[in-house]
Amino acid sequence: MRASVIGGGSWGSAMALHLGRLDINTKLWIREKDVYENTLRYRQNKTFLPGSVFPASVSFYNNIKETIVDTDFLFIAIPSKYCPSIYKLLAPLLSPRQLIISLTKGIEKNSLKRMSELMEDIFSSDFIPKIAILSGPSFAREVAESHPTAVVIASKDLKTSRLIQQNISNEYFRAYTTDDVTGVEIAGALKNIIAISAGICDGLEFGSNSIAALITRGIAEISRLGVKLGARHETFSGLAGIGDLVLTCTGKLSRNRYVGFELGKGKSLDQIVSKMNMVAEGVTTTLSTHHLSKRENIEMPICEEVYQILYKNKDPRTALQDLMTRKLKHENIS
């Protein structure tokens, strides 16, 4: 097996590191010239994944065409805002035998499409390759440090997801399979919005009650939209759903939780984002989800209040008060 990873951020680097440790010949494409040269020199990505040395089976590239030639599995780990342009670069370079695995958790802000939908649209001018989605509770740094991790691989073709599963699983990285691509992608994208709200609660110095409520009602909102879009409800009880949501809402390594925490402390979104060297997907996904929920006529009160905070400068305490004083209702988790 030969693999390529497109994206030299923390998650792309961690995946390349993991594949390399499995003795899979892996090419890692790094867009930023300075990060590429630094990684080539020190054999570690000191910008996005410091302290983890790549094995000899991982090589580094700055040319995207050279990166994907003669590889079997192509992992794409780039922020959603860059996906349209990167997919267009990849389209004429792909081979029908290559399997495409998306590691991106987001919704494209203009088309409101999931990453697999976007790929199918862009790649379809030549052919549509076999596509899979890898998601679940998986902080890049912990994968790099070989902490036991479980993920899920979603593909319309279960043979594809099983082949990927067999090739990337080991004693510390366990992959499950599903054919619910919609559910896995919606869960992976929207959990970042709830994580922002959890960070706001931490910034406001609320306790565990608040976080537990957000996680529980958050997964209800996410699954409500997901099912409307064709997902299966049970997917949101699994690794891509509640598993990833718990991690992102409570883990100290969560970028989206960090954004919320700083908002809760009174900082503006511009102040927060300007100091981050990595992308918090939840910021863009909040805008996409606002439009998607309106289009589908789905009530998503937590996501809507995060939207008001991020894009309408609503005070977080006012948003919380409005959320808590809504009309009382019967609990509905579907």
Catalytic residues: 191
- In degrees to the nearest 10, what's the CA dihedral of 277, 262, 185, 232? 170
| Cα separation, 238 vs 261, whole angstroms | 26
Q: What is the DSSP letter of 114?
A: B
Handedness of CA 23, 133, 273, 322 (dihedral sign): negative
Spatial separation of the C-alpha atoms in residues 110 and 93, rounded to whole Å: 25
**How far apart, in whole angstroms, are the C-alpha atoms of residue 39 and residue 27?**
13
Mapped onto helix, strand or coil, the DSSP state of residue 134 is: strand
Identify the three-state secondary structure at position 101: strand
Region of 292 on the Ramachandran plot (φ > 0 left; ψ -120 to 50 alpha; else beta): alpha
Let me know: does 289 contact 188? Beta carbons within 8 Å.
no
Q: How far apart are CA 199 and CA 260, in angstroms?
A: 4
Judge contact between 147 and 17, C-beta under 8 A.
no
DSSP letter assigned to residue 44: B
In the numeric block, the tokens 């054919």 are attached to 179
Euclidean distance between CA atoms 236 and 42, whole angstroms: 41
Strand 73-76 versus strand 58-61 pairing type: unpaired
The two structure tokens encoding residue 271: 């102040």
